[in-house]
Amino acid sequence: MSGMDDALTTVTLRVNRFTPRPERDRGARGGSPFAKKGGSPFGGGASRNRRPRGKQWTQEYTLRVRPEDTVLDCLLTVKRTVDPTLAFRYSCGHGMCGSDAVAINGTPTLLCTATVKDWAQRPNPFAQPDDEGFRHTGDADDETTLPDAGTDASDGLGVIELAPLPGFPVQRDLIADIDPMLDQIRKLKPYLQADGVLATTHDGKVDVFEYLQRPEQLAKYEMLSNCIACGVCEGSCPVFAGGDAFIGPAALIAASRFVNDSRDTATAARLDAIDTADGVAACQSVRACSRQCPRGIDVGEEMWQIVAKVKER
Ligand code: SF4
Ligand code: FES
């Protein structure tokens, strides 16, 4: 056996599968009872609240893997060699595009940066009902009280549970519809609105518009400009998941990025646009949005800062 084979072990992917009903059969019912009725200036609520109808089931795939493989590697292996019907989304494969956000073991994160060794978990035998249907409390590390886990998934590294990104309607299997988030970001005009200084060439011809800035001014928003609109912060936010009562942290990060940019001349309009009941006022400071941002943005802290800016006006 080669050294490479020696490093192989197994992992079981437990995947939430979903196949939607054909479009003509689907209604627009469902949604959170806490969702604000009436129109949001940011829109997108109706489609986000829609609970698509279709066939749902859980499917397990057990694979030979290396511990340092990513969960995306595993899904690509399944897609190419086991089950071509499995649907998931990805593009860059290394944490830059934000297209592959899902829930791994219930936590929103990116498939391409999550490794098997970090996310595989041993099944908790105490979560299994006994022969009489009771679940027992106990210490999963205490082998003297350990009941039979009753699953082959206890071999190898364990199980990784995969589901689509929470807070968004599922389209198919692990693909969530993130259009509501993108619509909200778009409505906040996520582009520079600035008065440039006209630069000319040595012979007096118009060359370029220059938007000058000092390094310390750049530092105020540079981290925010790293946002890749993956939706992980939105999927982690319990207020956003409640329906269209909140425009969501990703949209507020987009607004904050330009509010903090010294070149931007639309600060007042930007703060007005988020000074609404479903804007900054809806943020409950839970700070779950900060926990898994793949770009290292402290989203909760930025929410706090933009709320303060709106209040200070
Ligand atoms: S702030 Fe972070 S978690 Fe939220 S959308 Fe941007 S990159 Fe993703
Ligand atoms: S595939 Fe692009 S961020 Fe994961």
Higher pLDDT, 215 or 134: 215
Residue 56 has pLDDT above 70, yes or no: yes
Cα(159) to centroid of ligand 2, in Å?
22
Q: Kindly report, residue by residue over 140-170, the tens digit of the pLDDT.
A: 455 454 444 444 555 689 999 999 999 999 9
> Quick one: which of 250, 284, 45, 79 has its CA closest to 175?
79
Higher pLDDT, 181 or 37: 181
- Calculate the CA 190 to chain-centre distance: 19
How does DSSP assign the chain, residue by residue? --HHHHT-EEEEEEEEEEEEPPGGG-------TTS--S--TT--HHHHH----EEEEEEEEEEEE-TT-BHHHHHHHIIIII-TT-----SSSSSSS-TTEEEETTEEEETTT-BHHHH-B---GGGS--TTS------TT-TTSPPP--SGGGSTT-EEEEEEPTTS-EEETTEE--HHHHHHHHHT--S----PEEEE-TTS-EEEEE----HHHHHTTTTGGG-----HHHHH-TTGGGSTT---HHHHHHHHHHHT-TT-S-HHHHHHHH-STTTGGG-----GGGTT-TT---HHHHHHHHHHHHHH-
Report the nearest-CA residue for atom 4 of ligand 1: 233
Average pLDDT over residues 213-237: 96
Cα(184) to centroid of ligand 1, in Å?
14
Residue 42 has pLDDT above 90, yes or no: no
CA distance 295 to 180: 21
Asked if 194 and 263 count as a contact pair (C-beta separation under 8 A), the reply is yes
Q: What is the predicted pLDDT for the residue at 208?
A: 77
Average pLDDT over residues 211-230: 95
CA distance 18 to 165: 13
Ligand 2 contact via 266 beta carbon (within 6 Å): no
Go through the domains of the chain in sequence order and give each one's CATH number.
4-175 (3.10.20.30), 178-312 (1.10.1060.10)
Residue 139 has pLDDT above 60, yes or no: no
Residue 74 has pLDDT above 80, yes or no: yes
**Nearest ligand 1 atom to alpha carbon 232:** 3
Contacts of the segment 91-95: beta carbons below 8 A, 24+ positions apart:
95/294
Question: To test the ligand 1 pocket, which listed residue (165, 246, 297, 304) has its Cβ within 8 A of the most ligand atoms?
Answer: 297
Q: What is the predicted pLDDT for the residue at 155?
A: 67
CA distance 107 to 131: 31
Lowest mean pLDDT among 2-6, 193-197, 234-238: 2-6
The two tokens of residue 102 are 């899902």
Higher pLDDT, 27 or 235: 235
Asked if 178 and 231 count as a contact pair (C-beta separation under 8 A), the reply is yes
Residue 61 has pLDDT above 90, yes or no: yes
Q: What is the predicted pLDDT for the residue at 129?
A: 61
Report the nearest-CA residue for atom 6 of ligand 1: 227
Q: What is the predicted pLDDT for the residue at 31?
A: 45
Ligand 1 contact via 15 beta carbon (within 6 Å): no
> What is the rounded average pLDDT for all residues in the chain?
85
CA distance 45 to 252: 16
